Structure 1
């Protein structure tokens, strides 16, 4: 039987492992930052109706320019954006891949601040883009001075800023984004996959777009819209950027069914986002209760909490799994990450954790070795 080593694989891909969190069937699944609330039934029925209409013309290729979807996304984002500012793809990962295909590649580099979303380095490897891992400040923060200094030292072609950051949940200030953009001569991408979960009034990098043609703001419908299974990601940028991304997309890359489902969901954005307040409440509850149990949760602007003070993350992970609760070991020593679920799911996690041995106290954040 042929093995991977027997194939003429690109040399820069040898030794790498594919991205993927455990997909296990357990009562409480809080490991991949999904929105665990279900879509309201009236909205689901409208989506089904829209899909049925799309099926009547499924023998034809879909709208290559996904015009209605771009209009709806622009309307949802506001900030004076129009369809010319919008790009979309099959999940925000494909959006980021398009960016690297257009602006990265062999001989070019991508800068990210670790620990951060591990798909950044994987997408860099897949497109032949050199990955530069920059350090963060204490407690996973990222100040304007630190970020700009790394850009100045490394002169990357692309910078990815995760706001709020995954897996730490750390919010990112507009001042840091402005500092990075000013120090860079290349593309600056702000990944706002979890933006809707920030505190009310938190400004978006969308407000920085005017006059900054190299700034791109990426979003997703997977999280706040509870649409992870539909695979819809998008970005806002200068119209010249969307022209560039057309050069690397596959023909008709967004299916008619994907477009129909997303359009129907966006038509009900208020109902779809009504659950966000509940998720924020459960995230804040996690921070409070983890602290009470003796752990060290980090501040979070997302729908998950990274917490330290875990003596043996693998053993704690396994013990919780045996109790029917799946969370995430992200590879940061002394830490685990948990998504904010429904009230019942959050209670199940906290009760299971409370039954374990008490924590040993926080682990210094400079002990980071790897991130999954």
Structure 2
């Protein structure tokens, strides 16, 4: 039987592994940072009606410029943006791929701060862009000084900032983003996939776009909008950046069904985002309880919590899986990551993880939800 090694794939792809989060059917799945709350029924009915109307015209290509959707995204983001500032694709991964196709490539480099979203390196590899992983500060934080020093050392063509960071959840200050954007004339992408889960009042990098034509802010509908299965990501940037992305996108890359579903969700953004406060509350509940149990939860502005103090992460991961609870072993020593789910899901996780608390932790029942 032919193996991958027998095929004439590019040399720079040999030995690499694809993205691979475990996909298992379990009662409590808290491993890939999905919004585990269902779409409100009334909103779902409107989305279905819009998709049904689009089906009647599937004999025609969709709007290649997805003009209505770009207008809707601009309205949702605000900050004086209009459709000329907006780009969208099939998930924020494809948005980032377009950026790397347009501004990366052979002989060019992209830089991020590890540990960070694993797809940055994979997307870089797929576009022939050399990936550079610079270190973070203690507790996975990233100061302006550390970030700028790495840029000056490596002189990259693209900088990828995850705000808040995945997989650590670490918030990224606007001061750090501003320092990076002003440090060198390169493309700087601020990936705000989890921004809606940040503490209220947390400023977005969108506030820095004016006067910075090489700054890009990426978002997704997968998380806060509970739209992971629809695969819709988008970005805001200078219109010239959007023009550059047109050069690398496939024709009609956003289907009519995708556009219809996304427009339906955006039309009900208040209802779609109504569960964000509850998810944020469950995140804080997880942090407080893990801390009480003797684990070390890291600071998080996302819908998940990374926690240390785990003696054998793989063994704990497997033990929780045996109990029907799927979290994430991301390969960081002594650490595991869990998504903040519904109150019921969070309770199930906290009750199960208590059995693996460090020996010094008090033994008691989990703190109830507020």
Give the TM-score normalised by the residue count of structure 1.
Answer: 0.96
In structure 1, C-alpha distance between the alignment counterparts of 2:358 and 2:41, rounded to whole Å = 41
1:186 equivalent in alignment to 2:194? no
1:155-196 residue CA offsets vs partner (Å, 9 max, x unmatched): 100000000000000000111011111112210000000000
In structure 2, C-alpha distance between the alignment counterparts of 1:359 and 1:12, rounded to whole Å = 46
Residues 294-309 of structure 1 correspond to what in structure 2 (within 5 A)? 294-309=294-309
Structure 1 runs, 4 residues or longer, greater than 2 Å off: 355-361
Aligned residue in 1 for 2:282: 282
1:19-76 residue CA offsets vs partner (Å, 9 max, x unmatched): 0200101110000000000000000000000001001101100000000000000000
Equivalent pair of 2:309/2:358 in contact (CA under 8 Å) = no
1:339-360 residue CA offsets vs partner (Å, 9 max, x unmatched): 0000000000000111335367
Aligned residue in 2 for 1:370: none
Which structure 1 segments of 5+ residues have no match? 362-372
Aligned residue in 1 for 2:365: none
Residues 1-372 of structure 1 correspond to what in structure 2 (within 5 A)? 1-356=1-356, 358=358
Equivalent pair of 2:306/2:336 in contact (CA under 8 Å) = yes
Give the superposed CA RMSD: 0.9
Which structure 2 segments of 5+ residues have no match? 362-370
Equivalent pair of 1:311/1:359 in contact (CA under 8 Å) = no
In structure 1, C-alpha distance between the alignment counterparts of 2:182 and 2:358, rounded to whole Å = 46
Q: Report the count of equivalent residues.
A: 361
Give the TM-score normalised by the residue count of structure 2.
Answer: 0.97
